[in-house]
Amino acid sequence: MKPKLFTSALTYFFFLLCPLLIVPESQGAKKKNKDKNKGEGEVVFDFTEEDPGEKWLTVNDNVMGGRSKGGFAFKKTKLVFSGSTNTNGGGFSSIRSKTMDLGLEDKDGLMIRFKGDGRSYNLGVRMDRSSVSYRTEFETDGDEKGWQVAKVPFESLSSSWRGMRLPKSRYPLKKDKIRSVTIMIYDKKDGPFNLQVDWIKAYSDKK
């Protein structure tokens, strides 16, 4: 039976419990890269505006009684996603962009330039008026001096709803309906986390 997708606040938070999948197509997450991708892609977020925090919000596991802490701040023109996860509860922390038209209908995927702490994170998207989640995992190497770039094709994102994996043939990602980008940590580990993000871009494979 086709699950009915609700946009209520309860469902909004419940989808975060769905399992995370490592997608090998997420390229470049272990490569240092300072300038190679500088001119590639179209900027979606680069945090250079006067008040970039107005475009983001935090969703942690305390919505379901968890004990993790996390949030975002900005250091110069870098987004800093940090906190501490506690697996005695939900075990996750996330930030997401507020609903807006991101203009991704003619793009093939996202790229994120980041500096991490050795833990695994998720990059995902959500469509307008839908509680289906589309996301994948990327790893960080914990080198504080080196930036990494992960390239994530939209076709590699897995779809899920309320902890159930959904067939993409029935629940395809419609790029023109994408309205939010999510960064999440849910690696089933306890302890502090810190991820710096330089930018998030959209790219097209068309020449």
Judge whether residue 33 has pLDDT over 90: no
Return the pLDDT at 128: 93
Give which of 119, 120, 113 is closest to 20, Cα–Cα: 120
Give the CATH number of domain 9-203. Answer: 2.60.120.430
Return the pLDDT at 48: 96
Ranges of each domain in the chain: 9-203
Average pLDDT value for the chain: 83
Give the number of C-alpha atoms closer than 13 A to the C-alpha of residue 87, restricted to the C-beta side. Answer: 6
The beta strands (E) that lie in 19-103 are given as 42-45, 56-60, 69-75, 78-85, 93-97
Give the number of C-alpha atoms closer than 13 A to the C-alpha of residue 177, restricted to the C-beta side. Answer: 13
- pLDDT tens for 53-71 read 999 999 998 877 789 999 9
Return the pLDDT at 30: 37
Has this prediction a pTM greater than 0.85? Answer: no
* Rounded Cα distance, 182 and 59, in Å: 10
SS3 5: coil
SS3 content of the chain, % helix, strand, coil (to 5): 10, 40, 45
